[in-house]
């Protein structure tokens, strides 16, 4: 058993913003002692997406087990924990409430400080887990099911947003296209796998640029073009080559993400670029980012796939840096479904 030094700062972190019930113990902001994730994906698959009501009910059912497991795996008890970190937004309100109420109850009963964490700050912080050398400032591209943001991480928990999506999030586009060709939910990993057998240059899909906003994204045009292509083929009885189709779609998304991320690093003068969020586990995106960053002399950082999709370890890392800065939340902490990045 690893011994816990009294000087160590141990965060017990809880994440329940969408369809994963997760808890983790993180030591001194960088060392993950446990990372427990109870995924509800199988439950939502039959509906083709997350059903909020079902998500909340499942969180309630699982959360105590998940937390007990996280403490056990880390070989610690609640006594050893310094503070409780919890995602309080953005996300599904009913899902967030389960984690927030649980965190408040534990913090109150065990007399521990409570630190609310922004979910996206968590995603960015996932990069610190496996890269001890990575410290702010750097550029980060956050690409998840609900968010597409290009930010400069000025300091721990301090962001300057320089670009965002004007319509769909990158992950949302993956999910919708996957659904249209019958690959199922969640679409991202399925598209990633199927695209490996396809030709990314088979179909020339549009590359949208937002006039006057070089760092903004737009994926709705690409999504519509892909769906139109499918409908047209179906109407004319043409057979669709699904691997070619999803490889071409994925290639267009990857090009948009890589070009803006690298442009931001160059124009703003940073030699480090990180990616975060569920879509950051996409193999084509990682390969293309690595290749372009190598050419441009930029160091490229990405978390392991398990830390890209929703998890509580990333919340524990973010909570540690917030805790060290003095952030504390009261018993009135509430779920904030549309919490903006940088808001407290």
Which parts of this chain interact with ligand KG4 (CB under 6 A)?
Answer: 18, 144-146, 171, 174-175, 186-189, 192, 277-279, 281-282, 309-310
CB of 193 vs ligand KG4, minimal distance in Å:
8
Residue 125 sits in the site that holds Zn ion (CB under 5 A): no
CB of 286 vs ligand KG4, minimal distance in Å:
9
CB of 48 vs ligand KG4, minimal distance in Å:
12
Q: Of 24, 34, 144, 292, which one interacts with Zn ion (CB under 5 A)?
A: 144
Across the chain, where does the E strand assignment appear? 10-15, 20-27, 31-39, 83-89, 114-118, 138-143, 148-155, 158-164, 272-276, 299-301
Tell me how far CA of residue 193 lies from CA of 50, 189, 226, in angstroms. 21, 6, 18
Binding partner selected for residue 174 from Zn ion, ligand KG4, none, CB under the kind-specific 5 to 8 Å limit: ligand KG4
* Separation of alpha carbons 84 and 81, rounded Å: 8
The pattern of x and - marking residues 301 through 320 that bind Zn ion according to CB under 5 A reads ---------x----------
* Separation of alpha carbons 141 and 15, rounded Å: 21
Tokens of 302: 């990405």
22/83 with CB nearer ligand KG4: 22
125/281 with CB nearer ligand KG4: 281
CB of 175 vs ligand KG4, minimal distance in Å:
5
> Rounded to 10 degrees, what is the CA torsion of 265, 267, 268, 272?
20
- What would the DSSP string read from start to end of 286-321? HHHHHHHHHHHT-EEE---HHHHSS-SHHHHHHHHH
CB of 277 vs Zn ion, minimal distance in Å:
6
CB of 13 vs ligand KG4, minimal distance in Å:
15
136/146 with CB nearer ligand KG4: 146
- Taking Cα atoms as reference points, which of 252, 255, 188 lies closest to residue 223? 252
Contact criterion met (CB below 8 Å) for 276 and 159: no
Binding partner selected for residue 29 from ligand KG4, Zn ion, none, CB under the kind-specific 5 to 8 Å limit: none
The pattern of x and - marking residues 66 through 95 that bind Zn ion according to CB under 5 A reads ------------------------------
Angle at CA of residue 211, ends 172 and 274, nearest 5°: 50
> Rounded to 10 degrees, what is the CA torsion of 111, 326, 321, 157?
130
- Taking Cα atoms as reference points, which of 3, 285, 213, 30 lies closest to residue 11? 30
27/302 with CB nearer ligand KG4: 302
CB of 91 vs ligand KG4, minimal distance in Å:
7
* Separation of alpha carbons 182 and 176, rounded Å: 10
Residue 281 sits in the site that holds Zn ion (CB under 5 A): no
38/144 with CB nearer Zn ion: 144
4/120 with CB nearer ligand KG4: 120
82/148 with CB nearer ligand KG4: 148
Contact criterion met (CB below 8 Å) for 307 and 314: yes
Binding partner selected for residue 200 from Zn ion, ligand KG4, none, CB under the kind-specific 5 to 8 Å limit: none
Give the footprint of Zn ion on this chain (CB under 5 A).
144, 310
């Amino acid at each position: 058993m690893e011994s816990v030094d009294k000087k160590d700062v141990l965060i017990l972190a809880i994440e329940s913003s969408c369809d994963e019930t997760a808890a983790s113990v993180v030591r001194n902001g960088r060392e993950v002692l446990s990372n427990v994730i109870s995924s509800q994906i199988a439950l939502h698959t039959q509906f083709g997406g997350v059903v909020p009501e079902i998500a909340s009910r499942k969180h309630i059912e699982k959360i105590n087990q998940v937390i007990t497991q996280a403490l056990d795996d880390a070989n610690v008890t609640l006594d050893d924990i310094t503070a409780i970190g919890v995602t309080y937004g953005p996300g599904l309100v009913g899902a967030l409430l389960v984690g927030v109420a649980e965190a408040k109850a534990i913090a109150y009963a065990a007399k521990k400080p409570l630190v609310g964490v922004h979910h996206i700050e968590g995603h960015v912080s996932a990069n610190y887990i496996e890269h001890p050398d990575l410290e702010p400032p750097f550029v980060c591209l956050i690409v998840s099911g609900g968010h597409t943001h290009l930010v400069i991480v000025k300091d721990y928990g301090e962001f300057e947003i320089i670009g965002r999506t004007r319509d769909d999030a990158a992950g949302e586009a993956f999910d919708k296209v996957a659904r249209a060709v019958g690959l199922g939910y969640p679409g991202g990993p399925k598209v990633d796998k199927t695209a490996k057998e396809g030709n990314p240059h088979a179909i020339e899909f549009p590359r949208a640029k937002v006039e006057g906003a070089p760092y903004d994204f737009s994926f709705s045009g690409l999504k519509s073009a892909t769906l139109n292509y499918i409908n047209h083929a179906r109407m004319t009885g043409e057979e669709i080559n699904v691997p070619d189709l999803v490889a071409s779609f994925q290639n267009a998304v990857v090009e948009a993400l890589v070009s803006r991320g690298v442009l931001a690093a160059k124009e703003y003068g940073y030699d480090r670029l990180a990616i975060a969020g569920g879509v950051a586990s996409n193999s084509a995106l990682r390969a293309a980012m690595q290749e372009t960053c190598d050419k441009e002399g930029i160091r490229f950082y990405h978390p392991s796939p398990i830390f890209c999709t929703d998890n509580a370890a990333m919340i524990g890392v973010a909570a540690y840096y917030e805790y060290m800065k003095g952030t504390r939340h009261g018993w009135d902490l509430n779920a904030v479904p549309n919490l903006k990045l940088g808001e407290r």
